[in-house]
Amino acid sequence: MMKYAKFFIVGLILVGLSASPLSSALFHHEKSVSKEPLNLVVVWTSGDREVALKMVYMYVTNAKKYHWWDNIRFIVWGPSSKLLSEDEELQKEIQKMKEVGVELFACKACADMYGVSNKLSDLGIEVKYMGKDLTDMLQNGWMPLTF
């Protein structure tokens, strides 16, 4: 009789756990579902080609391709605008970003300083003044990543 009582008690505990909110965490390992979209803004300012190819471009393309973020905006700003305008391999990689759905922007003030606004625009990058837009993104919860 005592043997059956132990099984009965263990059974009640398991049934109680499975009906609780804790059960999802213990038994189902479900991913947390956010109601807000996950937005990332990447600000690329570095003129370092190796950083671009070996980290920045790889992460941004894969983050969008594999849906690690709902929305990704990529901003070319400062010395990176000159580098991008001159480097065909980086230009091909930018096209890969565009193909997977990354939104591409470049700071017009910086691109104009380097004389590359038209070149960046020809690559399919929206060239515009970005100070206010970046501020709005940050104030509206976009996660920033800078290089």
What pLDDT does residue 109 have? Answer: 98
What pLDDT does residue 30 have? Answer: 43
CA nearest to 82, candidates 106, 58, 66: 106
Q: What residue ranges define each of the domains in the chain, with the CATH number in brackets? A: 1-30 (no CATH), 39-146 (3.40.1260.10)
Cβ(129)–Cβ(108) under 8 Å?
Answer: yes
How buried is residue 98: exposed, middle or buried, by Cβ count under 10 Å (0-12/13-18/19+)?
middle
What pLDDT does residue 36 have? Answer: 87
Tens of pLDDT, residue by residue, the chain (147 residues): 555 544 444 444 444 444 444 444 333 434 455 578 999 999 999 999 999 999 999 999 999 999 999 999 999 999 999 999 999 999 999 999 999 999 999 999 999 999 999 999 999 999 999 999 999 999 999 999 999
